[in-house]
Amino acid sequence: MARPEDPARRRALVAAAAKLFRRYGYERTTARDIASAFRVQSGSIFYHFDSKEQLLIAVMLQGMHQFAAAAREPLADAHTPLDRLRALFYGHLTALHGGGDEQAVVIQEWRKLSAPARRRVVRVRDEIEAMWRDTLEESAAAQLVHGDLRLLRLSMLGTLNWTLQWYQPKGRLSIRELAEHLLIVFVPAASARKSAKVSGRSNKDQPLRHRRRG
């Protein structure tokens, strides 16, 4: 007989597990630990999930969906390759530092998934990678980035993910400011475009006589 689902209780269980997986690691966290944090008997966890790995998959999927949503939403309002890159940087950092623990678990515990479990999560990861791949291809066509785009994508995401180790959202830089600084590391042209916006004039805004020089 199928188990009746309680979506709110299931989400709360996933959030409790994510907090422990992030703090102590997946392998060191037991079902008893999760049950204690959730204030239920150990066996109650398996009413919702068949195994601890199934719970990890649920945490990972939640985190991946948050990454995808955080990228998709700002991309909808971006109209140039540079703006789309900026949106991806900002969206990824927002999901990583402005959400729950699930996104951190995706970064920290990815290798703990078995091959069959990983295939389920990869479907969502592929959607995220497609957004990055398409944006980088557009940026390369616009001469904003150069070289091996796959390597560049991995380097960008690796740098963004590493901020999990040192960035403090309540510190000197806001998430948006951090995104801008890191974007400039990979796309130096972003600094010039930013300066033009700050000055109130882009190349397009310059008087015609200046643009015709040379």
Q: Which residues of the chain have pLDDT under 50?
A: 1-2, 4, 195-214
pLDDT value of residue 209: 35
Angle formed by the axes of helices 189-199 and 81-98, nearest 10°: 100
Fold of 52-197: Tetracycline Repressor; domain 2 (1.10.357)
User: Whole-angstrom Cα distance, residue 97 to residue 164?
Assistant: 7
pLDDT value of residue 107: 92
Give the DSSP letter of residue 143: T
Q: Of 128, 123, 118, 101, whose CA–CA distance to 14 is shortest?
A: 101
For the chain, the domains span 52-197
Q: Which three-class secondary structure state does DSSP give residue 174?
A: coil
pLDDT value of residue 194: 55
pLDDT value of residue 208: 31
**Average predicted confidence (pLDDT) for the chain:** 84
Q: Of 69, 72, 73, 50, whose CA–CA distance to 61 is shortest?
A: 69
User: 38-55, pLDDT tens digit by residue?
Assistant: 777 766 777 778 888 999
pLDDT value of residue 206: 36
8 Å CB contact between 181 and 189 = no
pLDDT value of residue 193: 56
**What pTM does this model have?**
0.81
